[in-house]
């Protein structure tokens, strides 16, 4: 499996495991998922202190610690959401240096790690004291509490500030062949971690269920019917939707952060990942030419907002309908 290396020399497998939906209460199933991940070449596991209010870190950390004598791995976690573990509730957004320092010490205990490989700010706004947060990240790095740091956000104004004023090694944001808004954030300055690669099940064989349950009111300006048209167009290329989704991200040279909840789901996703390697680049380029290029309109300088999507949406949908109607 291909690996990316951050500016801080952290190795991240191209296919990474998101842990938020892992079966924490089924130790046998969870252990089997982690074992399969390692045996398949996955070496990066993504969690956050807020997931299950610390329980995710603790359980995943314990399992990974058991496998640590056999496999090398890197784990990334996130910080910034102050919570009460006992009450199982979020208290407030808190990116202060004092809280980050405290949260990192707790995460290290839960993860059974002396040092955290990758620490990400779990959000962020331009109203934060971003310089204070950056100084604390740099301090934690110098002291050896973390090896590298980054941010997980979609806010362009926040991304711009951290890119220009810090030494982030990764950026995490949603990205897939339909929700392509984060394409503008791709950069050689950091490794991009793409979450939501299958778009909440829309880019899977169960797309019809996703359309009826999660996208019944549409998404990103698309109606439910327009989303269905895009899916049917992609299916015409003859490959599983999942494989198309992964190939798109592979061509973007990003890390695919895929969450699972069962062993069978991970096996299926890994098969689609292997199939993706057989898909020609021209197939993805052709599909992308028929999908609107979207952009985040909020949390940015209004002068930089592009209106391309407003100008060409009708033309894109017209091409989709014409292709689908062809015998």
Q: What is the token pair recorded at 182?
A: 């984060």
Q: Is 148 exposed, middle or buried (0-12, 13-18, 19+ CB in 10 A)?
A: buried
Please give the Cα distance from 232 to 244 (Å, whole number): 13
Q: What is the token pair recorded at 221?
A: 């300006």
Residues carrying an active site annotation: 51
Nearest in space to 20 (alpha carbons), one of 28, 35, 30: 30
Decide: 144 and 115 in contact? Cβ < 8 Å: yes
Contacts of residue 254, Cβ cutoff 8 Å, sequence gap at least 6: 175, 186, 191, 192, 193, 194
Please state at what angle helix 27-39 crosses helix 263-276, rounded to 10 degrees.
20
Helix, strand, coil in percent for the chain, rounding step 5: 45, 20, 35
């Amino acid at each position: 499996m291909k690996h990316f290396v951050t500016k801080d020399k952290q190795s991240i497998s191209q296919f990474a495991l998101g842990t938020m939906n892992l079966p924490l209460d089924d130790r046998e199933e969870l252990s089997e998922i982690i074992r399969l991940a390692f045996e398949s070449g996955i070496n990066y596991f993504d969690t956050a202190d807020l997931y299950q209010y610390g329980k995710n870190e603790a359980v995943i950390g314990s399992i990974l610690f058991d496998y640590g004598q056999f496999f090398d791995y890197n784990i990334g976690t996130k910080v910034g959401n102050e919570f009460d573990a006992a009450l199982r509730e979020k208290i407030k957004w808190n990116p202060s240096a004092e809280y980050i320092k405290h949260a990192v010490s707790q995460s290290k205990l839960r993860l059974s790690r002396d040092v955290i490989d990758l620490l990400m700010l779990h959000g962020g706004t331009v109203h934060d004291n971003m310089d204070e947060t950056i100084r604390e990240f740099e301090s934690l790095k110098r002291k050896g509490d973390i090896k590298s740091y980054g941010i997980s956000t979609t806010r362009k104004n926040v991304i711009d500030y951290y890119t220009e004023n810090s030494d982030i090694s990764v950026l995490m944001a949603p990205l897939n062949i339909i929700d392509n808004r984060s394409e503008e954030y791709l950069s050689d300055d950091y490794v991009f971690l793409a979450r939501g690669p299958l778009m909440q099940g829309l880019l899977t064989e169960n797309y019809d269920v996703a359309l009826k349950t999660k996208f019944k009111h549409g998404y990103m300006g698309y109606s439910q019917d327009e989303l269905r048209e895009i899916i049917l167009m992609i299916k015409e290329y003859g490959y599983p939707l999942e494989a198309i989704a992964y190939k798109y991200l592979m061509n973007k040279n990003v890390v695919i952060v895929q969450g699972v909840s069962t062993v069978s789901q991970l096996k299926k996703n890994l098969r689609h990942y292997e199939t993706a390697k057989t898909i020609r680049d021209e197939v993805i380029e052709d599909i992308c030419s028929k999908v609107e290029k979207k952009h985040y309109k909020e949390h940015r300088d209004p002068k930089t907002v592009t209106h391309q999507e407003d100008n060409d949406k009708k033309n894109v949908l017209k091409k989709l309908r014409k292709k689908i109607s062809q015998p």
